Structure 1
Amino acid sequence: AGLIAGWVYWLTFGQAAAVGPKTTFGWFHAGISELFYTAMIAFAHLNCAASPRNNPKFDQNSFFGLAIGFVVVAAGYATGDVSGALLNPAVTLGLDVTGAGGTGKGGPWWRLAYLAFQFLGAGLAPLLFHLCRFREAENTRGGPGGPGTRSLQVQVLSATNLANRDSGLLGDVSDPYVTVRLGLQEYRTPTINNNLNPVWSTGNTFTFSLPEEGEPGHLSLEVLNDNLVVKEQSLGTLAVDLRHVSHNEWRRDRDILVGGKGGELQYALRINAGSDLGGGRKPSLPSMVASEFIGTFILCLTVGLNVVMKSPVTAWSAAAALMSMIYSVGSVSGGHFNPAVTLGAVLSGRGVCPVWHGMFYWSVQLLAGVMAGLLVSDFHQEGPYRFEPFDLAPGKSVQAAGATYSWWCVLVAEGAFTFMLAFVVLAVATTKPLPGPSSQNFQFALAIGSCVTAGGLAIGSLSGGSLNPAVSAGLSISGLVNNGSLAWLPNYAVVEFVGGAVAAVAFRATHTAEYGK
C-alpha cells in the first residue's frame, strides 16, 4: 500500500517526496526521533489493544485508536521539522518510492537508515511493554485467570455502621479492610484508617479463576480491623452463593455482616464466561515505576522538542503525548507523569498512592525530566534556533514593549492551572465509576489532556504553561546546557507542588463520599 501510494504521488506531482533529516539536523537526531516515536506507536498499540488488563473478555476497550493517533499528533509537531515524523516503514518506502527524493544528505540511502531506526523502535516497544506488564505475561502462560478459564470479578464498594474494635481513648475507631477469598485464592483491599463507614475506590477489584466445569462454590468476604499491636479483629463476614451470580453482567448487593453488630457491606459481582487476564493481580511496584518513567520521559521530550522547534501548537502536542501515555499505562501506575499530581494523590489518602510509592514516583519523574532535557538540549544545539535562548522564565508582556510579566503573575498562573490539572486527575482517575456495562474508564485521559491543552493555550505565552515540575526541570536543564539559568526552576516547582497539594484539599472537600462521610 505504501509503495502504491508513493507511485501515485510521483505520477501526480512528477517528483518523489523527500526522506531524510530536515534543515540543520543529521542522522543522530533524525534517527532518535524515528526510533523513540515509532517505539511509542507500537507501545501504545500493545498496551491498548493487546494488554489483557486493558481488554478483559467481553469488555474490550474502545480507545486504542485514540491512543495511537495521539502519538502521531505528538510526534508530528515535535519532530516533523527534525525527521519528518514518518514513524512507519510503509510510509518511508512510499514517500521516496523512486529513490529520487532525498534531501541532499545521502539521497535514497536515507530510506534504509529510516527503516533501520523504525524497526529498532518496533523491537524496543515489546521490551518496554513486558517491563510494564510482566505480571500479565505470567497470567497468559497459565497462571490464575489464564487462557480458557472462567473468571469471577468482585468489587468491594463500601461498608456502613461497622463495629468499633479500637479503644477510642484518643478518638480513634476501627481501621477496616476486606479480605475476599475463593478456595485457595485470596485478595485484600487497602486499609482505610479511622472510619466506620469506609468507601473503597482503588485496589478494590479482584478477579478469580473458576473451573470450567462444576459449581463455582461460595465466595467469602470478611471485614477486619487492621491492627499493628494485637491480633486483627473480625468486623463481620459474608458468604455468597455464586450459583446465583449473573454471567457477564454486574450484580450489586448490600448484605448485613454476620457477627458485625448491624454492619453492612456493599459489593458487586460478575462471572465472565472467559478469562479476565491480568485483572486480579495488582501491578508490581517496579512495573509502576517503569511506567511513570516512560510516560514522563515522552511527555517531557515532546514538550521540549516543541519549544526548541518553536512549534505553534505545543499545547496540543503535549496533551496528545500525555493522553496516549495515560491510555497506555494508566491502568498500571495511575498515569501521573507529574510530581505535583503524585503529591495530590498521596495527600488525598484512600490508599490511592502510598507515601513510599510517591517517593519512587517523584524520583523517576524528575529523572525522566532531566534526561529528556539533556536530549532536548542537543536538538537545540543543532537546530535552526540554536542561537536563541529557551529559558524557563516569564514571557514577554504584550502590554509594554520589551517588558516581561511579573513574577507573581507567572506563579499565580502556574499554580492555578496545576491545581486544575491535579484536581481533574484526582476526580476522574482515582475514583471508580459504579458498576455498569463496561468497566473501562474511557473519558479520564481526555479530561486530563484537555487540562494541559487549556493551560498551555491560556498561559503559554505568560509562563510557558509547564504545570509539571518534571517538565519545568527538563526545560531548565536544557536551557542551562545552552548557557541558560536555573534561577526560575525553584519558583516554578514550588508553586506547582502547592497547586497539587491544594487540589488534594479541594478533592477531600468536594468528594466526601470517597471518605465514607
Structure 2
Amino acid sequence: MFSADGGSAVFAAAFPELGIGFLGVSLAFGLTVLTMAYAVGHISGGHFNPAVTVGLWSAGRCANKHVLPYIVVQVIGAVLAAGLLWLIASGKPDWMPAGFASNGYGALSPGKYSMGACFVAELVLTFFFLMIIIGTTSKGTAAGFAGIPIGLALALIHLISIPVTNTSVNPARSTAPALFSGAVYVGQLWLFWVAPIAGAMLAGILAKILYEPADMIETVVVEEAKAA
C-alpha cells in the first residue's frame, strides 16, 4: 500500500510544478485505503497497518493467532513497496531522496514540532482513526460502506498532521521509508510504533466498552425472539 500513497508524496516532492500538493497527498493516502479495503477486505479484513491490527485485537475483533503474522506481512509489504518506489524515483537523473517521505520529530518534523507534540498527535489521531474503523464496522451500521468513512478519515488525518510528523498513524508505513533514508530516521522510529499502537489500543479498549454491550443486547433480543 505504501507504493501508492507514499508514491504521491515522493513524486509530488520531485515534481512540485504538477500541483498535487498537500491536499493531493492527503487524498491519495485516503483513497488508497478506501480502494484496498474494497479490493481485499473480504479476504483478510483489510489490515494494512500494525496499529489497526493491535487496536482491533484489543477490541476483541482480531484473534490472537493473527496479530503477529499480520504485522510481519504488513511490514514486509511496506518495505517491498518502498523499494519499488526507490527504484522508480531513482530513474530521474537529478532525483534526490531527501527524507523519502519518512516521518520524524524535532529537526525531522516538517514543521519542526517537538517530540512531545509529535507523540501526542500520533497517539490522538490513531485513537480517532481506530474509533472510526471500529464504529463503522460494528453491528447496526450500513453494511458494505465502511471503506468510505475510513478512507475519508485517513485523508483528514493527513490534512491535520502532515506538517507535524509527515503523518504516520501506521508503524509499517513509517518503517519502510526510514530504512531507505538513513540512521537518523531509523533512530526516531520508536515514536511511530509506540504512539500509534498506544492510541489504537486505547481506542480498542474504549470501543469494547461502548459497542460490546449493544452487541450483547442485540444478541439477547434475537435469542428471545427465537425462543418465543
Band the TM-score falls in, shorter-chain normalisation: 0.7 to 0.9
3-state SS of 2:185 partner: coil
CA distance in 2, matches of 1:424, 1:382: 39
CA distance in 2, matches of 1:306, 1:383: 15
For residue 472 of structure 1, report the CA deviation from its aligned partner: 0.8
CA distance in 1, matches of 2:125, 2:104: 17
For residue 384 of structure 1, report the CA deviation from its aligned partner: 6.7
CA distance in 1, matches of 2:92, 2:8: 12
Letter paired with 1:507: A
Q: Show the 5 A alignment for 1:213-228.
A: none
CA contact (8 A) 2:103 2:167 kept: no
For residue 419 of structure 1, report the CA deviation from its aligned partner: 1.1
CA distance in 2, matches of 1:477, 1:375: 13
Q: Show the 5 A alignment for 1:389-468.
A: 389-390=98-99, 391-394=102-105, 395-397=109-111, 404-429=112-137, 431-433=138-140, 441-468=143-170
CA contact (8 A) 1:392 1:479 kept: no
For residue 380 of structure 1, report the CA deviation from its aligned partner: 3.5
Structure 1 pair 432–486 and aligned structure 2 pair: CA distance change class (3 A): same
Q: Show the 5 A alignment for 1:356-395.
A: 356-383=65-92, 386-390=95-99, 391-394=102-105, 395=109
In the other structure, the counterpart of 1:503 is 203
Unaligned residue ranges in structure 2 (runs of 5+): 14-19, 218-228
Q: TM-score, normalised by structure 2?
A: 0.81
Q: Deviations over 1:301-340 (max 9, x none)?
A: 1122112112411110111111011112212221121110
User: Identity rate of aligned residues, in percent?
Assistant: 23
Structure 1 pair 388–484 and aligned structure 2 pair: CA distance change class (3 A): farther
CA distance in 1, matches of 2:93, 2:169: 27
Q: Deviations over 1:23-73 (max 9, x none)?
A: xxxxxxxxxxxxxxxxxxxxxxxxxxxxxxxxxxxxxxxxxxxxxxxxxxx
3-state SS of 1:337 partner: coil
Counterpart selection for 2:179 from 477, 488, 499: 477
- More relative contact order in 1 or in 2 (CA 8 Å, sep 6+)? 2
In the other structure, the counterpart of 1:490 is 190
CA contact (8 A) 1:344 1:503 kept: yes
Please say which structure displays the higher CA radius of gyration. 1
CA RMSD of aligned residues (A): 2.1
Structure 1 pair 358–382 and aligned structure 2 pair: CA distance change class (3 A): same
Q: Deviations over 1:251-304 (max 9, x none)?
A: xxxxxxxxxxxxxxxxxxxxxxxxxxxxxxxxxxxxxxxxxxxxxxxx211122
Q: Deviations over 1:172-224 (max 9, x none)?
A: xxxxxxxxxxxxxxxxxxxxxxxxxxxxxxxxxxxxxxxxxxxxxxxxxxxxx
Q: Does 1:355 align with 2:64?
A: yes
Structure 1 pair 383–422 and aligned structure 2 pair: CA distance change class (3 A): farther
CA distance in 2, matches of 1:385, 1:489: 28
Q: Does 1:513 align with 2:221?
A: no
For residue 445 of structure 1, report the CA deviation from its aligned partner: 0.5
CA distance in 1, matches of 2:55, 2:145: 20
Q: Deviations over 1:374-409 (max 9, x none)?
A: 222223333476325114213343xxxxxx111111
Q: Deviations over 1:437-472 (max 9, x none)?
A: xxx723210111111111100011111112111111
CA distance in 2, matches of 1:472, 1:461: 15
3-state SS of 2:90 partner: helix
3-state SS of 2:84 partner: helix
Which is richer in helix?
2
Structure 1 pair 318–498 and aligned structure 2 pair: CA distance change class (3 A): same
For residue 414 of structure 1, report the CA deviation from its aligned partner: 1.1
For residue 477 of structure 1, report the CA deviation from its aligned partner: 2.1
In the other structure, the counterpart of 2:45 is 334
CA contact (8 A) 2:104 2:185 kept: no
Structure 1 pair 385–365 and aligned structure 2 pair: CA distance change class (3 A): farther
Letter paired with 1:381: S
The number of aligned residues is 203
3-state SS of 1:511 partner: helix
CA distance in 2, matches of 1:433, 1:338: 25
Which is richer in strand?
1
CA distance in 2, matches of 1:453, 1:497: 19
Counterpart selection for 2:2 from 300, 311, 326: 300
Structure 1 pair 315–375 and aligned structure 2 pair: CA distance change class (3 A): same
CA distance in 2, matches of 1:503, 1:383: 42
CA distance in 1, matches of 2:93, 2:130: 35
Structure 1 pair 329–459 and aligned structure 2 pair: CA distance change class (3 A): same
CA distance in 1, matches of 2:210, 2:151: 22
CA distance in 1, matches of 2:116, 2:75: 25
Letter paired with 2:162: G
Q: Show the 5 A alignment for 1:242-261.
A: none
Structure 1 pair 378–441 and aligned structure 2 pair: CA distance change class (3 A): same
CA distance in 2, matches of 1:384, 1:499: 41
Q: Deviations over 1:326-357 (max 9, x none)?
A: 112212221121110110111111xx310101
In the other structure, the counterpart of 1:249 is none
3-state SS of 1:516 partner: helix
In the other structure, the counterpart of 2:57 is 346
For residue 420 of structure 1, report the CA deviation from its aligned partner: 1.1
For residue 427 of structure 1, report the CA deviation from its aligned partner: 1.4
CA distance in 2, matches of 1:452, 1:478: 24
CA contact (8 A) 1:304 1:474 kept: no
